[in-house]
Amino acid sequence: MMRVVVITGTRKGIGRNLSEYYLNCGYIVCGCSRSKSDLVHENYRHFCLDISDESAVIDMILAIKLEFGKIDILLNNAGIASMNHVITTPYKSVKNIFETNFFGSFLFIREVSKVMINLYRKQYKNSNLSPFRIVNFATIAVPLQLEGEAIYAASKAAIINFTKVCAKELASFGITINAIGPTPIKTDLIKNVPKDKIELLLNAQSIKRFGTFDDICRVIDFFIDSKNDFITGQVIYLGGIND
């Protein structure tokens, strides 16, 4: 049976691109966003929900399990950002960023892992195989520690630490979990970021250019390749970092 991949935040931007890419690769893609998607494909399923809504996430993963019987891959792509000086950052913004970037990722990891573990115990127990993959989205803003991105970077720093601990907790169930830290990609996520801030970030990279969707897909392809089942708890930052 085709591999089943769950991707969060698929209505537009990176998530939409990932959905189309993996559909073209022959995968079954199950995506979600707060609003409807116009992506139509026989192997695509879309769920409208807030990823920080626990009951909605549970219902989505249950529906996927009932239809396909498994989930092979989870890509925790959904995220929001905000650039503010710490003393002018509204508390509501902090809550919204953490609810989407961290709490939502946590819920999907927890629920998808349950499906993966159940299948592992039935089909792979006592083997040395690690057939399941989770890839989280961090950001190069974490190691660069740029002013104005304190809350966004903090939410993604939590993702990085969470990824490394989960790698230990999930390894015995055949699940690898890694993270990708993209440089700025030309999507809605950065459209309101001042040009000088973007230039500052790009100039801090070893390779001083915007990232592309292809750059992201290549890293994810590496992580989810069935041959790469001995790689877990790792973070790959695009563009390189000049210390």
In a domain, 137, yes or no: yes
Mean pLDDT (whole number) for 196-212: 82
Who contacts 59 (Cβ-Cβ below 8 Å, separation ≥6)?
A: none
Between 196 and 23, where is the model more confident?
23
Backbone angles phi, psi at 25, to 5 degrees: -80, -5
In a domain, 177, yes or no: yes
pLDDT at 44 over 70: yes
Using one digit for the tens of pLDDT, what is the confidence trace for 113-134? 999 999 999 999 889 899 999 9
In a domain, 80, yes or no: yes
In the chain, how many domains are there? 1
Mean pLDDT (whole number) for 187-193: 67
Mean pLDDT (whole number) for 137-163: 92
| Residues 76 and 32 sit within 8 Å (Cβ to Cβ) | no
Question: Which CATH number characterizes residue 107's domain?
Answer: 3.40.50.720
Using a pLDDT cut of 70, give the percent of the chain over it: 97
In a domain, 18, yes or no: yes
Backbone angles phi, psi at 228, to 5 degrees: -95, 55
Using one digit for the tens of pLDDT, what is the confidence trace for 60-109? 999 999 999 999 999 999 999 888 889 999 999 999 999 999 999 999 99
pLDDT of the residue at 243: 52
pLDDT of the residue at 200: 77
In a domain, 243, yes or no: no
Burial class of residue 207 in the structure, from the number of CB atoms within 10 Å of its CB (0-12 exposed, 13-18 middle, 19+ buried): exposed
pLDDT of the residue at 190: 66
pLDDT of the residue at 191: 66
pLDDT of the residue at 242: 59
Residue ranges making up the domain that contains 27? 4-237
Q: What angle do CA 163, 229, 140 make, to 5 degrees?
A: 35
Query: What's the rounded Cα separation, in Å, for the pair 94 and 105?
Result: 16
Closest C-alpha to 78, from 5, 153, 7? 7
Query: What's the rounded Cα separation, in Å, for the pair 159 and 154?
Result: 9
In a domain, 17, yes or no: yes
| Residues 125 and 103 sit within 8 Å (Cβ to Cβ) | no
pLDDT at 38 over 90: yes
In a domain, 204, yes or no: yes
Chain mean pLDDT for the chain: 93
Query: What's the rounded Cα separation, in Å, for the pair 175 and 19?
Result: 21
Closest C-alpha to 61, from 50, 79, 47? 47
Picking from 63-77, 168-182, 229-243, which range would have the lowest pLDDT averaged per residue? 229-243
In a domain, 242, yes or no: no
CA distances from 77 to 66, 136, 194, 227 (A): 23, 7, 23, 23
